């Protein structure tokens, strides 16, 4: 026997029903900080430094992200898939 239940609710209603906290204020502050950080970025090196400061794992996280992007680009171009 198979039973399917469809629930039609908003994300806020689902969070409330499941007892999860509303992290909207934290998310909004994070996005505002990110956008404010982009003001005055004039070159690629400054952008890289900015992203490293916001990366959850610092330099290790940035290297992992760069490796994933390189693999994705290599796959798209049909190049070497390391």
For the chain, what are the domain ranges? 11-77
pLDDT at 2: 94
Q: If you write DSSP's letter for every residue of 11-77 in order, what string do you get?
A: HHHHHHHHT----HHHHHHHHHHHHHHHTT--SHHHHHHHHHHH-TTHHHHHHHHHHHHHHHHHHHH
**Band of pLDDT at residue 78, cut at 50, 70 and 90:** low
pLDDT at 55: 67
Give tens-digit pLDDT for 27-70. Answer: 899 888 877 777 776 777 777 777 777 666 667 777 787 888 88
């Amino acid at each position: 026997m198979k039973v399917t239940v469809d629930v039609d609710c908003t994300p806020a209603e689902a969070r409330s029903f499941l007892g999860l906290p509303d992290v909207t204020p934290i998310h909004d502050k994070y996005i505002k900080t990110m956008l404010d950080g982009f003001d005055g970025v004039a070159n690629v090196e400054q952008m890289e430094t900015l992203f490293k400061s916001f990366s959850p794992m610092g330099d290790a996280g940035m290297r992992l992200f760069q490796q994933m992007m390189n693999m994705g680009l290599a796959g798209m171009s049909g190049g070497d898939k390391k």
